[in-house]
Structure 1
Amino acid sequence: MKICILGFGAVGKGVVKAISLKNDRFKEKYGLDLKVVAVTDTSGAAISNKGLDLDLLLEIKEKTGKVSNYPGYGVSGMSNMQVLENAEYDCLVEVTPTDICNGEPAKTHILKAFEDKRDVVTSNKGPLALYFKELNESAMNNGVQFKFEASVGGAMPIINFAHETLSSCDIDSIVGILNGTTNYILSRMAKEGSSYEQILKESQELGIAETNPAQDVEGIDAACKTVILANSLIGRDVSYKDVEVIGISKITPESISLAKNEGYLIKLIGEVSGDVLEVSPRLVREGSPFAVDGTLNVATLKTDLAEDVTVVGKGAGPLETASAILSDIISIYKIKQCNG
């Protein structure tokens, strides 16, 4: 299977590293041979329909910061759309930066791939949180696969788990911690009694929080994920603008201490149930499934047949996110094998 990767930041590099590590195993276990035929970043592209040398690609990016410096196959200034026109690929991996205002340029990339009858795997929350129905309908109309496990919870298995393992069940509600950065900050505040500002600063120094942390701490990232779960697992037709969102920036050490004295923790919780579509700080009981530390994500799915099912996993990290992307690619390959 030939892969085109748009975006070569942390996640894109994680996907290439994971393929380099696991491709022999995929060949042995599934008969699946993955070839990365195109990669883009802001400098341009590296494109070879015979497949790029993955270790060399990572080395070039590490040393020069530009995939366009890949010897013989680097093209300076080549746009993502030009790559989609010229590359001979089977599956697009769309991992460009998320834009929650308009979902671009990822939305255009995904629709272009669908129109060209290519499958798509993405971790990009922007287009999914804004245009889920349009994207899903385009994939179905063009007879291609559209997978996005990595868009919610990194390595936490939830979307495919719900569709496949819980396929006999109707899902009534989903409640969860869907952002690792805020969970890390609140966990540290609870353990140390430190201020939000101090822990945020340390989180930024460690690379857990972004230089501009607004998407995480104001609940925007968790709200996008809540929308994706509402649409993909419960069949709602909602977008980011429909979510009631309150972040964690006003949480004080005093409020956390008061909660702890009563046996509770404060966590940023996303909920989809009935008419509720909300992200907000809430009290959770110590010892409950939601009392997870660090960057872990957790979600409980309330079902009709299996009752409550809880999943936990690391919510961020290049290889963790790549694991979900590769699971989607393997799933697409298996579907194609079954369909002949």
Structure 2
Amino acid sequence: MRICIIGFGAVGQGVARVFSMKRNKIKQKYGLDLELVAATDSEGAVISEGGLDPDLLIETKKKTGKVSEYPKYGVSGLSGYEVMDTVEYDCLIEVTPTNIDDGEPARTHILKAIENGKDVVTSNKGPLALSYREIVDKAKSNGVEFKFEASVGGAMPILNFAHETLAGCDINSVFGILNGTTNFILSRMAKEGSSYEQTLKEAQQLGIAETNPAQDVDGIDAACKVVILANSILNRDVSFKDVEIDGISKITPGSIELAKKEGYLIKLIGEASQETLEVSPRLVREGSPFAVGGTLNVATLKTDLAEDVTVVGKGAGSVETASAILSDIISIWKVRK
């Protein structure tokens, strides 16, 4: 399978690393040969029909900041859109940064690939939170696979779990901790008694929170995931604007301490049901499945036959997110064989 990666930040590099780690094993186990034929970043691209060396690609990006510096095959200034017209590929991996304003450029990349009859795997929440139905319908009408397990919860396997393992169940709602950064901040505040401002600064120093943390702490990231869960699992037709959102910036050490005295923790919870689309700080009981620390994500699916089923996993990390992308690629291969 010839792979084109658009976006070579943390997740794109994680995908290349996973390809390097797992290529031989996957070939032996599934008969799938992962051939990376193109990669792009904001500065340019690298294209080789004969395949690129994932390790050399990562090393080049780390040393120079540009994939276009890859020996012999790098092209400066070439956009992802242009690369898709230049190289022969079977599957697009779209991992550019999330844009919640209009979903671009990811939305255009994804739709172009689909219209050209290519399968697509993405971790990008923007197009899914804004144009889910359009993209899914376009994929169906063009007979291609469109997979996005990595868009919700990083390595936490929730979408494929719902569709495959719980295929016989009606799922009534999904709710949980869907953002690792806010979970880290709230966990540290509860443990250390520190203020929101202090803990946010610590999270930024550790690289867990962005320099501009608004998408995480204001609940925007979690809201995007609520939309994806509602549309994909509950078959709703909603977008980001339909979610009620309240972030964590107003939570004080005092409110956390008061909750602890009553046997509770405060967590940022996202909920999707037929009646509700919401992200807000809520009380969860200590000792419950939601009493997880660090950057872990956790979600409970309420079903008719299996009752409550809870999944837990790392919600962030380049290799962890890439593991979900790899599982989607293998799923596509099984369909295509």
Bin the TM-score by the shorter chain: over 0.9
Tell me the residue number matched to 1:201.
201
Q: Can you list the C-alpha shifts for 1:18-40, whole angstroms capped at 9, x where unaligned?
A: 00000000011101110000000
Tell me the residue number matched to 1:254.
254
Tell me the residue number matched to 1:28.
28
Q: Quick check: 1:10 aligned with 2:7? A: no
1:101 alignment partner, SS class: coil
In 1, Cα distance between equivalents of 2:61 and 2:272: 40
Tell me the residue number matched to 2:107.
107
Tell me the residue number matched to 2:124.
124
Deviates most, 47-56 or 125-134: 47-56
Amino acid at match of 2:174: I
* Residue identity (%): 74
Tell me the residue number matched to 2:281.
281
Residue 239 of structure 1, CA deviation: 0.2
In 2, Cα distance between equivalents of 1:79 and 1:14: 21
Q: For the aligned residues, what is the CA RMSD?
A: 0.5
Tell me the residue number matched to 1:238.
238
Q: Quick check: 1:72 aligned with 2:72? A: yes
Tell me the residue number matched to 2:333.
333
Within 5 Å, which residues of 2 pair with 1:184-223?
A: 184-223=184-223
**Which contiguous aligned blocks of 4+ residues in structure 1 show a shift greater than 4 angstroms?**
none
Residue 178 of structure 1, CA deviation: 0.1
Residue 117 of structure 1, CA deviation: 0.2
In 2, Cα distance between equivalents of 1:228 and 1:272: 9
Q: Can you list the C-alpha shifts for 1:99-125, whole angstroms capped at 9, x where unaligned?
A: 000000000000000010000000000
Within 5 Å, which residues of 2 pair with 1:245-324?
A: 245-324=245-324
Q: Can you list the C-alpha shifts for 1:41-64, whole angstroms capped at 9, x where unaligned?
A: 111000011111111111111111
Within 5 Å, which residues of 2 pair with 1:219-230?
A: 219-230=219-230
In 1, Cα distance between equivalents of 2:146 and 2:332: 9
In 2, Cα distance between equivalents of 1:51 and 1:304: 48
Residue 194 of structure 1, CA deviation: 0.2
In 2, Cα distance between equivalents of 1:113 and 1:158: 25
In 1, Cα distance between equivalents of 2:88 and 2:274: 45
In 1, Cα distance between equivalents of 2:240 and 2:213: 18
Amino acid at match of 1:236: R
Contact 2:236 2:274 in 1 (8 A): no
Residue 304 of structure 1, CA deviation: 0.9
Amino acid at match of 1:121: V
Residue 274 of structure 1, CA deviation: 3.0
2:233 alignment partner, SS class: helix
Contact 2:234 2:274 in 1 (8 A): no
In 2, Cα distance between equivalents of 1:192 and 1:103: 38
In 2, Cα distance between equivalents of 1:53 and 1:211: 32
Within 5 Å, which residues of 2 pair with 1:12-161?
A: 12-161=12-161
Structure 2 segments unaligned to the other structure (5+ residues): none
Q: Can you list the C-alpha shifts for 1:278-315, whole angstroms capped at 9, x where unaligned?
A: 00000000001100000000000001111110000000
In 1, Cα distance between equivalents of 2:175 and 2:203: 25
Q: Can you list the C-alpha shifts for 1:159-194, whole angstroms capped at 9, x where unaligned?
A: 001000000011000110000000000000000100
Amino acid at match of 2:176: G
1:271 alignment partner, SS class: strand
In 2, Cα distance between equivalents of 1:316 and 1:51: 28
In 1, Cα distance between equivalents of 2:315 and 2:109: 25
In 1, Cα distance between equivalents of 2:270 and 2:16: 31
Q: Can you list the C-alpha shifts for 1:207-246, whole angstroms capped at 9, x where unaligned?
A: 0000000000000000000000000000010000000000
1:168 alignment partner, SS class: coil
Residue 79 of structure 1, CA deviation: 0.9
Residue 72 of structure 1, CA deviation: 1.1
The count of residues paired between Structure 1 and Structure 2 equals 337
In 2, Cα distance between equivalents of 1:19 and 1:36: 9
Residue 330 of structure 1, CA deviation: 0.3
In 2, Cα distance between equivalents of 1:130 and 1:149: 17
In 2, Cα distance between equivalents of 1:49 and 1:138: 28
1:234 alignment partner, SS class: coil
In 2, Cα distance between equivalents of 1:15 and 1:311: 23
Structure 1 segments unaligned to the other structure (5+ residues): none
In 1, Cα distance between equivalents of 2:300 and 2:43: 42
